[in-house]
C-alpha cells in the first residue's frame, strides 16, 4: 500500500528535517521530512516513538483493578479510559443495566472531562497559533503569550478547565486518576453540597462556552480561505451515535460515513467492532493504522473526534449546541466539511454541549441517589466503548474464573486518526514547505495541522520496535545498569552477551 | 466564579525570573496536568517564572535553566538522552510523580522479557494484521526495563504522587522561589 509522500523512492539521497518533539500536544511524537536539493518534499511522516505494552502487562491483574490502572495511559483524558474499562467490566459482573444514579454520575464525570480537555486543548495549546499566526515568534506561541496579549481569553480558558476538573473531582474523587467508577456502577454519588458548589458556576461556564464558539467562528470569518483549505483532505468518518441519533459521548452505536456523507454502516453494536475495524502496522511508527474492514486499508481509513461526531450525528440534544451545529452544517452547504482547522469549531460546539449537559445533570436528583451498583450473571468477556475527547475509544477484555484478565485490546482515539494526521501534514508540507527555504515558522504549520486533531500520542503507543541497535544504560557513576541489543531479525538480547 | 486568593508576594527585589524547563518521559502527562491544576495561580507563577523547553511551549531544546521538572521514567534510549540533557543544563532537577521516582505503572512490564512482550503484544491483539513489526531507524530503541530517573542521574528533589496534587507542586515551586528548603508536610505527601 502506498500513499503520496509517505515513502520516498531514494531516501538516502535526500536531506532530513525533523520536528522533534512535536510540542503543544500530549505525548511523544516527531515529524520527519525528506527534501531534495531543490527543497522539494518527497516524504513526510508523523512517528509515534514510544512503547508501553499495557495490553500485555494488564494480563494477570484482577479485573476490578483495571478501570483504575488503565487511566495511567493518559493524564489528559484519564476519565475516558476509566469509563471505557468500567463499561467493559460491567459485562463481567453482569450489570447489563446500571442504576440511574450510576449512569448519570458516570455521564457527569465524562462530560466534565470533555469540557476540561476541550478547554485545555483550545486555550492552553492551540489558541496561540490561531491568535498570533502560525509563523509568529516561537517564544510567544504559548499560553504565557496569550495571557499577556489576551488576558481575559487566557483567564477564561484556565477557569473553564478548572470547572471541568472540579466536576471530575466531585464524581471521581480526584481531578486526575480518580476511582469513582467501578465494575457495575459507581462508588459514590454527588452530595447536595457538592451540587450547590458546581451550580454556582455552571451558568457562567455555559456563557463562556458560547463565547468560545463565537470566538472560533470569528477566526474562521477573518480568513475563510485559510481555515477552509489548510491541510484539507477527504476521508471517511466514524463515531458513536446515541440511540436517538443524537450526539452522545458516553454510549451509543457505531456509525460511519464516506467522504460525501453517505452512511457506510449504522446502528452497529460496538461489541462487534472487530467485524468492522481492522488495524495495520507500518514499520516507521509504533502507532497502528486502523481502517474500515469493508473498504480495505487503502480506502478505509477515517477520521474520528469532534469534526466526525458533529457531522455524523442527526442532532444535539441541548438547544444552544444544536443551534451551533445547524449553523456549522449550513456553513458547509450540505456536504461534509473535511478541513482540519474546522476541528476547532466543532470542538467548541462540543464543549458548549458538555456544559449544557452538565447543567441538566446537576438539576437531576438522580445524581444524589444511593442505589449505586448493579450486578447479574457473571460474564467472561467485556467490550466498552466511549467517545473520548479525541474520538472513539475501544476497550476489550477477557477475564478467567479466578477474576484475572487474560486478554486486553485497546484501540484509542488518536490511533483512529493516524492516517488522517499523516495526510494532513503531507498536504501542508506540499503546499507550504516544498521548494522553499525551511524556517521555524513554516515547520510550525506542520504542527498546527497535527494539533487540530488534538492527538494524544502517549495513548497511542501499542507495538514494539525492531531494528539492529545496541543501547547501554549507565548510571551517574558510570556503571552500566542495563544493556540491550536488538538484531534486525527482531531477536533481543539483554546484558553483556549482545 | 470564585477567585482563589492571590498568593502573598515574596518580599524580594524584582529579580530575574526563574527559568524552568519541564518534560514528560515515560509518563502519561498527568503530572503536567496536575501542574496546570494550580488553576489561576498559574498567572501569579508567570510573574516569577519563565518556561524553557516544555510541552506547553515551542522550545524544542532545553537551555540553561534554574529548575527542571521531569515527569515519567525511562523506557527508551531517547528518554535517557533527554534526561542527561536536563541534568547538564538544570541547576536543580526534580523527579515529579510515581513514574519518575520508581518507574510507576509503565514499569509493570519489567517482570516480562522484552522478546516475550514483543511476541505477546502482537498475538493478543485480535484485530491487527500480523507479520510486520516497526523497525525504522527513526524509532528510539525501547529499554529492556523501565527505570526511575535517579538510577541514571543525580536528582535533587522528589515529589511523590500519581500525580502529585497541584497544591504539592505549588508548595515546592513557591518554596524554591522564596529560597526556602522545599518541604511538603502533612497532607501533601501521598502516593496515589
**In chain A, which residue's Cα lies nearest the Cα of B163?**
A176
Residue B62 has pLDDT above 80, yes or no: yes
Of A274, A444, A465, the CB nearest to B134: A465
Identify the CA nearest to A103 among candidates A117, A86, A115: A86
Give the list of residues 6+ apart from residue A48 with CB closer than 8 angstroms, or none: A27, A28, A29, A285, A286, A287, A457, A460, A461
B40 vs A: CB within 8 A: yes
- Chain A: residue whose CA lies nearest to B144: A484
Nearest Cα neighbor of A442 from A31, A143, A125, A144 is A31
Query: Is the C-alpha dihedral spanning A33, A76, A257, A223 positive or negative?
Result: negative
Q: Would you call B46 and A284 a contact, using CB atoms and an 8 Å cutoff?
A: no
CB-CB contact of A442 with A135 (8 Å): yes
| Domain boundaries along the sequence of chain A | 54-421, 468-498
Q: Do B112 and A53 touch (CB under 8 A)?
A: yes
Q: Which helix (H) or strand (E) segment is A181 a member of?
A: strand A181-182
Q: Are A451 and A25 in contact (CB under 8 A)?
A: yes
Q: Is residue A18 scored above 70 in pLDDT? A: yes
Report the 10 Å Cβ neighbour count for A34: 21
Cβ-defined contact of B139 to A284 (cutoff 8 Å): yes
Sheet architecture: strand order including A29-35: A15-19, A29-35, A41-48
Rounded-to-integer distance, Cα A33 and Cα A41, Å: 7
Work out whether the CA dihedral A51, A55, A60, A61 comes out positive or negative.
positive
pLDDT of residue A49: 78
Tell me chain A's radius of gyration from C-alpha atoms.
23
Residues 6 or more apart whose Cβ sits within 8 Å of residue A97: A374
Alpha helices in A253-318 (DSSP H): 273-276, 296-299, 306-312
Query: What is the mean predicted confidence (pLDDT) over A113-140?
Result: 96
Share of chain A above pLDDT 90, in %: 78
Give the residue-averaged pLDDT of A442-446. Answer: 93
Contact list in A for residue B76 (CB cut-off 8 A) is: 49-51
DSSP assigned state of A373 = B
Task: Report the alpha-carbon distance of residue A198 to residue A268 in Å, rounded.
Answer: 36
What's the average model confidence in pLDDT over A314-330?
Answer: 97
Average pLDDT of chain A is 90
- The sign one gets for the Cα dihedral B56, B61, B62, B64 is negative
Residues A54-421: name the CATH superfamily: Cytochrome-c3 Hydrogenase, chain B (1.10.645.10)
**Which stretch of DSSP H or E encloses residue B74?**
strand B74-76
- Mean pLDDT along residues B79-94: 97
Torsion of CA A171, A58, A65, A170, to 10 degrees: -10
Q: Is the pLDDT of residue A465 over 60?
A: no
Structure confidence at residue A489 (pLDDT)? 37
Strand partners, A471: A484
In chain B, which among 72-91 make CB contacts under 8 A with chain A? Answer: 74-78, 80
How many angstroms separate the CA atoms of B171 and B33, rounded?
Answer: 16
Cell of A153: 481569553
DSSP code of residue A125: I
The CA distance from A347 to B22, in Å, is 27
Per-residue confidence (pLDDT) for residue B77, from 0 to 100:
93
Q: Tell me the C-alpha distance between B175 and B182, whole Å.
A: 5
Å between A335 CA and nearest CA of chain B: 32
pLDDT score for A485 = 42
Confidence of residue B13 (pLDDT cuts 50, 70, 90): low
User: Cell numbers 495571557 correspond to what residue?
Assistant: A147
Calculate what percentage of chain A has a pLDDT beyond 70: 91
Q: Average the pLDDT over B47-64 and give the result.
A: 93
Q: Collapsing DSSP states into helix, strand and coil, what is residue A155?
A: helix
Q: What is the mean pLDDT of residues B41-69?
A: 94
* More reliable by pLDDT, A484 or A182: A182
C-alpha to C-alpha distance for A386 and A394, rounded to whole angstroms: 7
Give the model confidence (pLDDT) of A401-429 as tens digits.
999 999 998 888 988 999 999 999 999 99
Which range among A319-328, A364-373, A486-495, B20-29 shows the weakest confidence by mean pLDDT? A486-495
Burial class from Cβ neighbours inside 10 Å (0-12, 13-18, 19+) for residue B40 reads middle
Rounded average pLDDT over A84-91: 98
Residue A480: pLDDT band (50, 70, 90) is: low
pLDDT, average across residues A84-108: 98
Q: Output the pLDDT for position B166.
A: 97
Partners of residue B117 in chain A, C-beta under 8 Å: 53, 56-57, 464
- Cα–Cα distance for residue pair B153/A289, rounded to 1 Å: 37
What pLDDT sits at residue A360?
98
Radius of gyration of chain B (CA): 19
Q: What angle do CA A127, A152, A223 make, to 5 degrees?
A: 40
Q: What's the CA gap between A166 and B9, in Å, rounded?
A: 27
When pLDDT is cut at 50, 70 and 90, the band that residue B182 belongs to is confident
Quick check: A24 contacting B, CB < 8 Å? yes
**pLDDT bucket at A472, cuts 50 / 70 / 90:** very low
pLDDT confidence of residue A46: 92
Question: Of B179 and A195, which is predicted with more confidence?
Answer: A195
pLDDT tier, B119 (very low <50, low <70, confident <90, very high otherwise): low
* The CATH number of the domain covering residues in B18-123+140-178: 3.40.50.700
Helix-helix angle A418-428:A440-452, to 10 degrees: 150
| Cβ–Cβ gap B105/A72 under 8 Å | yes
| pLDDT tier for residue B153 given thresholds of 50, 70 and 90 | very high
Query: Could you say which DSSP state residue A355 is in?
Result: H
CA dist A454 and A472 (Å) reads 35
User: Is a pLDDT exceeding 50 seen at residue A453?
Assistant: yes
Q: In whole angstroms, what is the distance from residue A7 CA to residue A41 CA?
A: 11
pLDDT band at B54 (very low <50, low <70, confident <90, very high): very high
Give the DSSP letter of residue A246: B
Least-confidence region, from A24-28, A114-118, A268-272: A24-28
Smallest CA–CA distance, residue A374 to chain B, in Å, is 27
Report how far residue B189's alpha carbon sits from residue B192's, in angstroms, rounded to the nearest whole number: 10
Interface test with B, best of A281, A418, A442, A498 (most B CBs within 10 A): A281
Inter-chain contacts counted by CB atoms under 8 A, chains A and B: 274
Q: Tell me the three cell numbers of residue A349.
A: 460546539
pLDDT band for position B3 (50/70/90)?
very low
B97: helix, coil or strand? helix
Q: Please, which pLDDT band fits residue B121 given cuts at 50, 70 and 90?
A: low
Asked whether residue A462 carries a pLDDT value surpassing 80, the answer given is no
pLDDT above 90 for A164: yes
Query: Alpha-carbon distance A459 to A412, whole Å?
Result: 6
Amino acid at each position: 500500500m502506498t500513499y503520496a509522500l509517505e515513502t520516498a523512492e531514494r531516501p538516502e539521497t535526500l536531506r532530513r528535517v525533523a520536528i522533534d518533539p512535536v510540542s503543544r500536544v500530549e505525548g511523544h511524537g516527531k515529524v520527519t521530512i525528506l527534501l531534495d536539493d531543490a527543497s522539494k518534499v518527497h516524504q513526510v511522516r508523523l512517528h509515534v516513538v514510544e512503547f508501553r505494552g499495557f495490553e500485555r502487562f494488564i494480563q494477570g491483574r484482577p479485573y476490578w483493578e483495571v478501570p483504575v490502572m488503565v487511566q495511567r495511559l493518559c493524564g489528559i483524558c484519564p476519565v475516558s479510559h476509566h469509563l471505557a474499562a468500567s463499561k467493559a467490566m460491567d459485562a463481567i459482573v453482569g450489570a447489563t443495566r446500571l442504576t440511574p444514579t450510576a449512569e448519570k454520575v458516570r455521564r457527569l464525570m465524562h462530560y466534565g472531562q470533555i469540557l476540561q480537555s476541550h478547554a485545555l486543548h483550545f486555550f492552553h495549546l492551540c489558541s496561540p497559533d490561531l491568535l498570533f499566526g502560525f509563523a509568529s515568534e516561537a517564544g510567544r506561541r504559548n499560553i504565557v503569550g496569550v495571557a499577556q496579549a489576551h488576558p481575559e481569553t487566557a483567564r477564561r480558558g484556565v477557569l473553564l478547565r478548572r470547572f471541568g476538573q472540579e466536576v471530575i473531582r466531585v464524581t471521581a474523587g480526584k481531578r486526575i486518576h480518580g476511582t469513582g467508577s467501578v465494575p457495575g456502577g459507581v462508588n459514590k454519588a454527588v452530595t447536595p453540597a457538592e451540587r450547590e458548589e458546581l451550580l454556582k458556576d455552571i451558568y457562567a461556564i455555559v456563557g463562556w462556552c458560547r463565547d468560545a464558539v463565537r470566538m472560533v467562528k470569528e477566526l474562521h470569518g477573518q480568513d475563510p480561505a485559510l481555515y477552509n483549505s489548510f491541510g484539507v483532505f477527504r476521508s471517511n468518518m466514524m463515531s458513536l451515535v446515541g440511540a436517538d441519533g443524537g450526539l452522545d459521548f458516553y454510549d451509543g452505536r457505531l456509525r460511519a460515513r464516506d467522504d460525501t456523507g453517505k452512511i457506510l454502516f449504522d446502528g452497529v453494536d460496538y461489541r462487534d467492532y472487530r467485524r468492522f475495524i481492522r488495524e495495520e502496522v507500518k514499520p516507521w511508527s509504533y502507532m497502528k493504522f486502523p481502517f474500515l474492514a469493508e473498504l480495505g486499508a487503502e480506502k478505509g481509513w477515517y477520521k474520528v473526534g469532534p469534526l466526525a461526531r458533529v457531522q455524523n450525528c442527526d442532532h444535539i440534544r441541548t438547544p444552544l449546541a444544536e443551534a451551533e451545529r445547524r449553523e456549522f452544517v449550513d456553513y458547509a452547504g450540505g456536504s461534509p466539511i473535511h478541513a482540519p482547522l474546522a476541528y476547532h469549531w466543532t470542538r467548541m460546539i462540543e464543549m458548549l454541549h458538555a456544559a449544557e449537559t452538565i447543567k441538566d445533570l446537576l438539576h437531576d436528583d438522580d445524581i444524589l441517589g444511593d442505589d449505586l451498583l448493579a450486578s447479574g450473571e457473571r460474564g467472561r468477556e467485556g467490550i466498552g466503548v466511549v467517545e473520548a475527547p479525541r474520538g472513539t475509544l475501544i476497550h476489550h477484555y477477557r477475564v478467567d474464573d479466578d477474576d484475572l484478565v487474560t486478554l486486553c485490546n485497546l484501540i484509542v482515539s488518536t490511533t483512529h486518526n493516524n492516517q488522517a494526521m499523516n495526510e494532513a501534514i503531507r498536504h501542508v508540507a506540499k503546499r507550504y514547505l516544498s521548494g522553499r527555504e525551511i524556517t521555524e515558522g513554516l515547520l510550525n504549520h506542520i504542527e498546527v495541522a497535527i494539533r487540530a486533531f488534538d492527538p494524544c500520542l502517549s495513548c497511542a503507543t501499542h507495538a514494539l520496535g525492531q531494528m539492529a541497535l545496541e543501547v547501554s544504560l549507565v548510571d551517574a557513576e558510570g556503571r552500566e545498569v542495563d544493556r540491550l541489543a536488538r538484531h534486525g531479525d527482531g531477536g533481543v538480547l539483554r546484558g553483556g552477551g549482545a | 466564579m470564585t477567585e482563589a486568593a492571590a498568593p502573598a508576594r515574596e518580599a524580594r527585589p524584582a529579580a530575574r525570573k526563574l527559568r524552568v524547563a519541564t518534560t514528560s518521559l515515560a509518563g502519561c502527562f498527568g503530572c503536567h496536568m496536575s501542574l496546570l491544576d494550580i488553576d489561576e495561580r498559574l498567572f501569579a507563577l508567570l510573574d516569577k517564572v519563565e518556561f524553557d523547553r516544555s510541552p506547553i511551549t515551542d522550545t524544542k531544546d532545553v537551555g540553561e535553566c534554574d529548575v527542571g521538572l521531569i515527569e515519567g521514567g525511562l523506557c527508551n534510549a531517547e528518554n535517557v538522552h533527554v534526561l542527561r540533557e536536563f541534568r547538564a543544563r538544570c541547576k536543580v532537577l526534580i523527579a515529579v510523580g510515581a513514574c519518575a521516582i520508581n518507574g510507576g505503572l509503565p514499569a509493570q512490564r519489567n517482570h516480562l522479557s522484552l522478546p516475550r512482550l514483543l511476541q505477546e503484544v502482537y498475538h493478543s491483539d485480535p484485530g491487527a494484521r500480523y507479520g510486520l513489526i516497526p523497525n525504522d531507524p527513526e524509532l528510539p530503541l525501547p529499554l529492556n526495563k523501565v527505570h526511575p530517573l535517579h538510577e541514571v542521574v543525580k536528582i535533587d528533589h522528589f515529589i511523590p504522587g500519581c500525580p502529585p496534587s497541584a497544591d504539592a507542586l505549588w508548595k515546592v515551586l513557591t518554596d524554591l522561589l522564596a529560597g526556602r528548603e522545599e518541604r511538603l508536610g502533612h497532607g501533601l505527601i501521598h502516593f496515589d
